[in-house]
Amino acid sequence: MTATTTPATSAPATTAPGTTDALVVERLSKSFGATRVLDEVSFSVEPGRFLVLLGPSGSGKTTLLRCLAGIERADGGGIRLGERTLAEGRTHLPPDRRELAMVFQDYALWPHMTAAENVAYALRRRRPTKEQSAAQVAACLDRVGLGAHAERYPHQLSGGQQQRVALARALVARPGLLLFDEPLSNLDADLRERLRVEIAALTRESGATVVYITHDQAEAFALADTVGVLEQGRLVQLAGPEEVYQRPASPFVARFTGLAGELTGRATGAPHVGRVMCATPAGSLVATAMGAHDDDAAVQVLIRPAAVTLAEEPGDPADGRTAPLASQSLTGTVADTAYRGRGYDHVVELADGSRLTGVFDRRACPRGARVRVTLDPDGCFAYPASSARPTGAGQDAAPLSDRTPVEVP
Ligand code: ADP
Ligand code: MG
C-alpha cells in the first residue's frame, strides 16, 4: 500500500487510536472559599461529539475545564469517560492518567523545546521508538500546516503558529477527549476564523469527544454540535445551536447570544398558539411567548438582529391600518449606519427612544432617515417581565449591547 497523507493512516501501529468515549458529568460542584463557582453542573457528550460551553467571564468555564482535566479537584459530583471514573467521591485521577489533552488560550508550549519536541513530548508516555515518534510528530505538524517549522522554537513562531503547535501536541497522542480553553482569544480576527475552521475539521477527523469553552457566541454557534450556556456556575441551557438561538431558555441566554434590542410592555392577548401580542411604547408587536402570559401582565421583548428587517420609509399612516403585517412594523429614525462589506448595519431609534442595533440591509440608509422596521415574531421573545428585568435597567428598554459579545476587530 502506498503512503497516505493523513496521520490517521500513516501513523505507526504503536499509537493505538484513542478510544472515543462518552463524557458524563454529574452534579459537579466547586467553591473557592465562600464563592460557589460551579453549582451542580450536569451534562453528557456523546462519543465524538463537540460540546461548546459558552458563558461570560467569571461564569466558571475554566474551572469546569480544569476539573475535567484533573488540574482542579471538584468538591462534589462525578466525571466519567466511557467506563472509567475520572473523579467521584475520593477518586481523583491525576491529569496524566485521564487520557485527554488540553489546548489553552496562551498556548502553553515549552519555550526551550522546538515545535517538534513540544509535540513529541505528548507521546512520551507511549514510549515510542525514535522513528515512530518522529514520523507521528512530522505527520501531525504537516497536518496543521507547520511541516516546515518543526525545528523552530516558540519565540520564532507567530501566535497563530504557536497555537497550531499546541493543536498538534493535543492531537498527536490521539486522546479520546480534547479540551479547549478559549484557544482563539489571543489571535487576530482573520486568523481566528481560519484556525476555527481547522479546529472543527481536525477534531472531527480525530474522532475525539470535545469540550470547548468560549465567551464568544459566534464561535460557539459555528463550532458546536451542542451548546451549553453557563451563568454564574450553573448550566442554564444545553441544546443544539439552532435551538439556543431560536428558543433561548431565559433572558440571560437570549442576551448573551446576541440581541438587537429590548422592549418592555404589556401582554394584550394571544393571536396564535405560542404567540403573544405585546403593547410597547414603541408600538405593538407579536412575539414568541416564552412562558405563560396573563392579559395585561408586564412583558419584556428581546429581539434578535436576524428578526429585524429594514423596510421602506413609513408611508401614509393609512398603510398601518390596512397592511396585514402592520402590527409587526415599528417606525423609527436611523441613528447610525456602519459599512460591513456585505452591506450595512444600522442603529434604529424607535418612537420611544429605545434602539435596535445591528439592523442589516444591503443598501445604506442614511443617518436621520425615517424608516420602518419589520419584526419577525420567530425572533422576538416575550418573557414574563419578572424573569426578564435586566440588572440595573428599570423600565428603560435600551439594548444591553454591553452584554452582547462583540467581535473585536
Ligand atoms: P471563566 O473561565 O468563565 O472566566 P473561571 O472559572 O476562571 O471563569 O472563574 C470563575 C470564578 O471563580 C471567578 O469568580 C474567579 O475569580 C473564581 N476563581 C477561579 N479560580 C480561583 C482560585 N484558584 N481561587 C479563588 N477564586 C477563583
Ligand atoms: Mg476562563
List, in sequence order, every beta strand (DSSP E) within 191-259.
209-214, 226-231, 234-239
Q: What is the pLDDT of residues 90-146, one digit of tens each?
A: 999 999 899 999 999 989 999 999 999 999 999 988 888 888 889 999 999 999 999
Q: Which atom of ligand 1 is nearest to the CA of 63?
A: 6
CA of 63, nearest ligand number: 1
pTM of the full structure:
0.85
Q: What is the pLDDT of residues 168-180, one digit of tens each?
A: 999 999 999 999 9
- pLDDT band at residue 19 under the 50/70/90 scheme: low
Cα of 31 from ligand 1 centre, angstroms: 9
Task: Tell how far the Cα of 42 is from the centroid of ligand 2, in angstroms.
Answer: 19
Pocket test for ligand 1, best of 39, 53, 62, 102 (most atoms within 8 A of CB): 62
Report the distance separating Cα 114 and Cα 342, nearest Å: 42
Q: Do domains 23-99+175-246 and 259-387 have the same CATH topology?
A: no
Nearest listed ligand to the Cα of residue 183: 2
pLDDT single digits (tens) 327-381 = 489 999 999 999 999 999 999 999 999 999 999 999 999 999 999 999 999 999 9
Per residue, what are the HEC states of 305-367? Answer: HHHEEEECCCCCHHHHHHCCCHHHEEEEEEEEEEECCCCEEEEEEECCCCEEEEEEECCCCCC
215 CA: nearest ligand 1 atom: 3
Asked whether 63 lines ligand 1 (CB < 6 A), one says yes
Q: Tell me: pLDDT of 15 over 80.
A: no
> For position 313, what pLDDT does the model report?
59
CATH 3.40.50.80: does it fit domain 259-387? no
Residue 310 in contact with ligand 1 by CB distance below 6 A: no
Nearest to 169 by CA among 111, 101, 112: 101
Q: Using most ligand atoms within 8 A of CB, pick from 30, 31, 32, 53 the residue to mutate for ligand 1.
A: 32
Q: Ligand 1: distance of its center to the CA of 402 in Å?
A: 21
State the average pLDDT for the chain. Answer: 87
Residue 325 has pLDDT above 50, yes or no: no
State the residue for C-alpha cell 454529574: 26
Ligand 2 centroid–CA 60 distance in Å is 7
Query: What type of residue is 52?
Result: V
pLDDT above 80: residue 230: yes
pLDDT at 401 over 60: no
State the pLDDT at residue 181. Answer: 97
pLDDT at 304: 97
247 or 270, which is more confident: 247
Q: Which of 35, 63, 64 to mutate to test the pocket of ligand 1 (most atoms within 8 A of CB)?
A: 63
Using an 8 Å Cβ cutoff, are 381 and 366 in contact? no
Asked if residue 75 has pLDDT above 60, the reply is yes
What does the alpha-carbon distance between residue 331 and residue 105 come to, in Å, rounded to a whole number? 44
Q: Is the CB of 214 under 6 A from ligand 1?
A: no
DSSP 111-162: TTS-HHHHHHHTTGGG---HHHHHHHHHHHHHHTT-GGGTT--GGGS-HHHH
Spell out the domain ranges in the chain: 23-99+175-246, 259-387
Rounded to 5°, angle at Cα 133 from 132 and 137: 120
Q: What gap in Å lies between CA 392 and CA 371, rounded to an integer?
A: 30
Ligand 1 contact, 62 CB (< 6 A): yes
pLDDT at 316 over 90: no
Tell whether ligand 1 has an atom less than 6 A from the beta carbon of residue 110: no
**CB 61 less than 6 A from any atom of ligand 1:** yes
Extract the C-alpha cell encoding 383: 418573557
Instruction: List Cα–Cα distances, 84 to 28, 92, 187, 292, in angstroms.
Output: 16, 11, 36, 43
Of all residues in the chain, what percent carry a pLDDT higher than 70? 86
* Nearest atom, ligand 1, residue 56 CA: 3
Can you read off the three cell numbers belonging to residue 283? Answer: 408600538
CATH 3.40.50.300 is held by the domain 23-99+175-246: yes
